[in-house]
Structure formats: C-alpha cells, structure tokens
C-alpha cells in the first residue's frame, strides 16, 4: 500500500550544470517538458550573487560577473565533493554544496510557480558519469540542503540516452554520447536495444570544459594587452571577471562567424583584439585532442571501433563549437546528426528517470509523488530498463610482498552492475584481534591516489589466529549504486557485513545546519 506523498506534490529531473542548470518534468501525455525559470528562460546560469541575506541566482548574477563580479561565484560544480573547499562570497564562507543548494532552490521555486504552485518535493539530479562516489554524495547533499528528497543521482550521458531512446523505442543501435559542457567532459558508449539501455564504457574529465576554451581566449587577449600597454589585465580580479564574459561571448560568436573582436579595458587603458576562428582553433587544439584521446580509449575499452558506432549524441553547449563537430566527423566518417537539444536532453532524461523511479518506489510502498503521466502512457516507462556500469575501480588496501600498502582491485571499472566479486586476502600478523578493511575507489595501486569510500571492521576474532589466515572479501554493487561488503573467515566461520551507501561527505547534522542556513535566506 502506498503512503501517499503530499497531495499535489511533484517530482522533477534536474541537470545541475557547471555553467547552466535545467529542470524538466514529464507531463500527463508522457512527454518530458522543460520548465522555464521566472525570467522565462529554459536554462538558468549556475551563478550566484550574495549580498547580506539577499541571494540572486541566474542571469542577473551572471550579468553581475560581467560588470566586475564582486560578490558573485560561478563554476561551482568541479569543486563539489571537496571536503574542505570553502568559497568566500558576499563576505561569508560557503561550501560548494551550499552554493549548489542556492541554485537548486532558485529554479525549483521558479518551477513551482510555473506549474501552478505544486510543491516540488522529489528530484532526480544528474552528474557526469565520471563523478566519484564522493562527488555523487555531495550532489545528493546539495539537493537535500535545498529541501529536496533526492530519489536518485544518475549519469548525464545515461539521461541523454534515455531522452533519445525514449523517443526511438525499439531501435537497436550503438550510441556514443559526447558531452562537453562548461566545466566537465564525459564520453559514454551505450547500446540501445528495444527498451534496454546498456552502458558499455565510460570515461571523462571533471576539469575540462568550455571554460578552458574561454581561458585560452583570455590568455591571448591578455598577452596582446601586455604587448601594447605593458600591463597584465588578468592581475585585476574585476577585469578578469569581465574578461571571462567577453571571452565566452567571443567564443559563441566564433561558432557562427569566421572572425570576431574583443575590447579589453583595464586601468584606463583599452585594446581591441581581433580573433579568427582559425586562430581560436589553433590555440585550443590540445584541448580538443584531449577529448579525442578519451573518446578513442572509451571505444577501445568496450572492444569496439568507431565503425561500430551508429550514432553520436552531442550533449553540452560546447559541442556547438565547429571544431568539435569537425573532429567527430573525421572519426566517424560522417557528420554527427543533431538529434537532441544539447542543452535540454539531460534534464529531459532525468525527468524520464524520475517517473521510472517514482513508479518503482511507489510499488515498494514509498511515499513519493504520483507521476503526472496518464495511465495509458505509463507502459513505456515500465518497459524502459537501464543497465549500468561501474565508473571507477573498487578495491581494498592490502600489504604487498614487500609489506607496502597497495590498493587491490575487486570490482573493476567498466564492470556491469549489479555485480558480485569475492577475493581472498590473508591476515598480516599472528594473533590479530581485528581486521580493518579500507574500501577504496580509483584506478591506481597507490592508496594516496585513490579515494577512501569507507571502512569496515571485523572484530572479536578468537585471538589465536596464525599469520596468513585467509579472509574472503565479497563486494556486491547493487543496481541502485550501493556497495555491500562482506568479510568471511572460513577457518572460524565468522562473517561480518557492511553496507557502504555514500557514507562519506557531509554528516546529517552538517546537512541540517546548512539547510537551516539556506532556508533563512531570500533567494530570487
């Protein structure tokens, strides 16, 4: 039996982007629709302006960055999940999660107004496929600080593939999702077959995006300015903020025009700089090559070749750059088709996923809102199925033959989930009373280069165990992204269980205190 959620409450899908965020909802006809913000824009700049208790999010805050940028902050997403990262904005310290929560609060409130005042209580939020567990948990924390019940965190390329696969039911295609946004790059290979979307391989870079292309223009303009005036305009924080805006505008123009012009003013001096598309492409060629290398590796990881790829889905605003499309055309031997709106498909997929999750959770009796979709259109959502892969290797710390700590992989990156793996380890000393199992995530054997996901302790051992007693460690990754760990000592028939479900990140108290802090502010 369902305990019904707040009557009238609804769930949405949210693409919380580095530069822009988008919210969508599936309507009564089963169609995902973007919900515009209060400025009637379909995408909201992920920029925050703070002064006293007054917070402004979106285009006004973005315009403010172009006027010098005091009290504003942008490009928050790459910092999410960094435990100690603090931003000083408007004279106060904020965590990346709190700032992200302000962005969420703004467009959720706007969306509520736009859909007739229905409270938005539940959401699915998307993240790059390459995000670590820590970054996923922090994204979930940001949602909770904003007062949302986060039903699920899903990968952006999976969401894009859902939006695509949903419209093209019954197709059988290998699809490459090339997602170049403002601050992150993701590539994912998928098989869409009937109603099932299977992830085959994924890779990416959480520190590569349109912003890096902008910075190349800034450097070019600054060098020209230095040559003419002997002054580096990047030294002045206000001018630098303005340069960011101008460089981005110049880049956008170069997606349409063969050349453009920027005017840089600093310390009463002015300079006009001409820039051709060819120059822009030359100065950013290495960035594009980085994405090409990642693309090649991802296709290889799946044991495939570009000739096996039937379709490339372009996601993220930066895929509008002419050079990106040219490179993909060279690799594919044909022009990539523009099947989806690159700015909106992730949020649409998240909204589709929200309906799938609502149905599953309600079947299990959870108090989540009823989807708006009319019964006759629900069948499509019931039939959709996603098969995911693990985006980072999971393992534990053990001692190697030289007694050095190393990370031993248990579930490799790229493994299909759900997945269960067992590996046998041995105790390192005589008479061990307890065994500490450090669970790690990462592609390196050096523990320092990996992230610690959690720890599980096998306690109360008999005390007379000889060194090298075998311990079986079992890792089980479930469909909903949880990791269950079991350690068994076959010699003494002792078993311990532990569940790691995004245990790192903020504590419940920290989330609550941040939530109270954000709730006390006026956000517009």
What is the SS3 assignment for 352? Answer: helix
In terms of CB distance, is 207 or 507 closer to ligand AMP?
Answer: 207
Of residues 133, 141, 248, 271, which one binds ligand AMP by CB under 6 A?
Answer: 248
Active-site pick, 141, 179, 203, 386: 179
* Catalytic residue flag (residue 98): no
**Closest among 158, 156, 154, 152 to 191, alpha carbons compared:** 158
- Least distance to ligand AMP, CB of residue 418, Å: 30
Q: Which residue is nearest to ligand AMP (CB)?
A: 210
The helix (run of H) or strand (run of E) holding residue 95 is: none
Among 13-21, 103-111, 471-479, 492-500, the segment contacting ligand AMP (CB under 6 A): 13-21
Strands 494-500 and 48-51: unpaired
**Closest among 130, 176, 161 to 384, alpha carbons compared:** 161
**Closest among 163, 175, 199, 502 to 356, alpha carbons compared:** 163
- Least distance to ligand AMP, CB of residue 224, Å: 21
Q: Is 317 in the site for ligand AMP (CB under 6 A)?
A: yes
Rounded Cα gap, residues 404 and 390, in angstroms: 27
Of residues 13, 128, 210, 442, which one binds ligand AMP by CB under 6 A?
Answer: 210
* Catalytic residue flag (residue 27): no
Rounded Cα gap, residues 316 and 339, in angstroms: 13
- Asked if 208 and 290 count as a contact pair (C-beta separation under 8 A), the reply is yes
Of residues 137, 251, 392, 413, which one binds ligand AMP by CB under 6 A?
Answer: 251
- Least distance to ligand AMP, CB of residue 446, Å: 32
Of residues 31, 193, 255, 301, which one binds ligand AMP by CB under 6 A?
Answer: 255
Of residues 284, 294, 318, 393, which one binds ligand AMP by CB under 6 A?
Answer: 318
Task: Specify the residue for token string 């869409």.
Answer: 192
In terms of CB distance, is 181 or 409 closer to ligand AMP?
Answer: 181
504 CB-near residues (< 8 Å, 6+ apart): 133, 134, 137, 452, 453, 454
Among 95-103, 209-217, 459-467, 477-485, the segment contacting ligand AMP (CB under 6 A): 209-217
Rounded Cα gap, residues 177 and 198, in angstroms: 13
> In the window 457-496, what residues touch ligand AMP (CB under 6 A)?
none
How many residues contact ligand AMP, by CB under 6 A?
Answer: 19
* Number of other residues whose CB lies within 10 A of the CB of residue 237: 11
Beta strands in 447-513 (DSSP E): 451-458, 470-477, 483-489, 494-500
Of residues 106, 136, 320, 362, which one binds ligand AMP by CB under 6 A?
Answer: 320
Q: Is 343 in the site for ligand AMP (CB under 6 A)?
A: yes
- Least distance to ligand AMP, CB of residue 19, Å: 4
234 CB-near residues (< 8 Å, 6+ apart): 218, 219, 222, 240, 243
Among 17-25, 130-138, 328-336, 442-450, the segment contacting ligand AMP (CB under 6 A): 17-25
* Catalytic residue flag (residue 179): yes
**Closest among 234, 205, 210, 219 to 279, alpha carbons compared:** 219
* Catalytic residue flag (residue 15): yes
- Asked if 144 and 515 count as a contact pair (C-beta separation under 8 A), the reply is yes
Binding site for ligand AMP (CB under 6 A): 17-20, 181-182, 209-211, 248, 251-252, 255, 316-318, 320-321, 343
Residues acting as catalytic residues: 15, 77, 156, 179
């Amino acid at each position: 039996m369902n305990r019904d959620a707040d009557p009238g409450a609804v769930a949405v899908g949210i693409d919380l982007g580095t530069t822009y965020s988008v919210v969508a909802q599936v309507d009564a006809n089963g169609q995902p629709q973007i919900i515009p913000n209060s400025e009637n824009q379909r995408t909201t700049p992920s920029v925050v302006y703070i002064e006293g208790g007054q917070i402004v999010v979106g285009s006004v805050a973005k315009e403010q960055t172009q006027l010098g940028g005091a009290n504003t902050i942008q490009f928050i997403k790459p910092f999410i999940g960094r435990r100690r990262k603090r931003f000083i904005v408007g004279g106060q310290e904020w965590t990346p999660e709190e700032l992200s929560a302000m962005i969420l609060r703004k467009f959720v409130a706007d969306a509520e107004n736009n859909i007739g005042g229905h409270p938005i209580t539940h959401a699915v939020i998307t993240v790059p496929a390459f995000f670590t567990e820590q970054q996923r948990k922090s994204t979930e924390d940001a949602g909770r600080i904003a007062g949302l019940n986060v039903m699920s965190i899903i990968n952006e390329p999976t969401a894009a593939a859902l939006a695509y696969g949903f419209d093209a039911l019954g197709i059988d295609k290998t699809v490459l999702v090339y997602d170049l946004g403002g601050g992150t790059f993701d590539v994912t290979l998928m098989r869409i077959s009937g109603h099932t979307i299977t992830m085959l391989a994924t890779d990416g870079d959480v520190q590569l995006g349109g912003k890096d292309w902008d910075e190349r223009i800034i450097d070019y303009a600054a060098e020209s300015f230095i040559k003419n005036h002997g002054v580096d305009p990047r030294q002045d924080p206000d001018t630098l903020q303005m340069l960011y805006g101008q460089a981005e505008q110049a880049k956008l123009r170069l997606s349409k025009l063969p050349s453009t012009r920027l005017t840089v003013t600093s310390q009463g001096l002015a300079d006009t700089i001409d820039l051709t598309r060819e120059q822009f492409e030359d100065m950013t060629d290495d960035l594009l090559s980085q994405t090409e290398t990642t693309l090649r590796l991802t296709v290889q990881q799946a044991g495939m070749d570009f000739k096996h790829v039937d379709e490339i889905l372009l996601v993220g605003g930066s895929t509008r750059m002419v050079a990106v499309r040219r490179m993909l055309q060279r690799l594919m031997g044909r022009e990539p088709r523009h099947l989806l709106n690159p700015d909106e498909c992730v949020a649409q997929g998240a909204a589709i996923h929200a309906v799938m999750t609502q149905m599953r959770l309600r079947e299990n009796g959870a108090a989540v809102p009823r989807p708006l979709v009319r019964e006759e259109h629900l069948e499509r959502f019931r039939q959709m199925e996603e098969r995911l892969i693990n985006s980072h290797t999971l393992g534990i710390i053990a001692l190697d033959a030289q007694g050095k700590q190393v990370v031993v992989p248990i579930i490799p990156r790229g493994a299909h989930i759900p997945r269960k793996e067992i590996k046998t380890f041995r105790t390192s000393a005589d008479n061990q009373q307890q065994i500490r199992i450090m669970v790690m995530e990462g592609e390196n054997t050096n523990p320092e280069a990996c992230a610690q996901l959690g720890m599980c302790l096998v306690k109360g051992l008999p005390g007379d165990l000889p060194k090298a007693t075998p311990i079986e460690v079992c890792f089980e990754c479930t469909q909903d992204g949880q990791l269950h760990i079991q350690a068994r000592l076959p010699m003494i028939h002792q078993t311990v269980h532990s569940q790691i479900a995004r245990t790192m990140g903020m504590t419940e108290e920290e989330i609550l205190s941040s939530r109270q802090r954000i709730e006390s502010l006026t956000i517009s």
